[in-house]
Amino acid sequence: MQTTHKIGAEFYEEDYHLIAIHSDLENFAMTYALNFYCGLKLRRTEEDLTLEKDLAFPIFEWNDELSETQWTLFCNRSEEEVRMDFGGLFEENISLQKNFLLKEQKEVDYFLKMDSDHTTGINELAKKVNQIPRVVTAYSIDTETLKSKSNLIF
């Protein structure tokens, strides 16, 4: 008889911190600004985070081996083309549907994830991010209160 063990999400405990960023900057411009103002070296990954067939979120990462920190910037929004067939003169209409990685945080444009055992410096980092032009606000988020935090395990 074979035994199968399943590990639930509640047993998977990862030590990470999140900074929510509100900004109208495009993802490449946000990455450049974070690299410049915060001393990061984020680069776009070869593959986006894909949750469903046509639902992809751009990801930028950097593994800082010196401080043993994994940095990840990801967009909270993804736009998907939805085709509607009305059967009339304009048979096909295309509209954009917005989807969110963390649905309970719809107002947030980007998340900066810091995977590290070190908890110091998260508030100072948020202050640096707030200095970036066209960033409306940036703040630390309590990851324990997130309902869809399983989307952040990648």
Domain count, the chain: 1
Residue 86, both tokens? 């009305």
CB atoms closer than 10 angstroms to residue 152:
19
With respect to residue 93, please indicate whether it lies within any of the assigned structural domains: yes
Side chain identity at residue 145, one-letter code:
T
Contact 94, 103 (CB under 8 A): no
User: HSE on the CB side for 73, CA within 13 Å?
Assistant: 23
pLDDT of residue 15: 76
With respect to residue 110, please indicate whether it lies within any of the assigned structural domains: yes
Nearest Cα to 42, choosing from 103, 126, 130, 111? 111
With respect to residue 9, please indicate whether it lies within any of the assigned structural domains: no
Domain assignment of residue 121, given as a range:
16-148
With respect to residue 2, please indicate whether it lies within any of the assigned structural domains: no
Strands 92-100, 110-115: parallel, antiparallel or unpaired by DSSP?
Answer: unpaired
The structure's pTM equals: 0.79
pLDDT of residue 86: 61
Q: Which residues of the chain have pLDDT under 70?
A: 1-14, 53, 81-82, 84-92, 118-119, 147-154
pLDDT of residue 9: 47
**How confident is the model over 24-38, as pLDDT tens digits?**
999 999 999 999 999
pLDDT of residue 7: 43
pLDDT of residue 149: 57
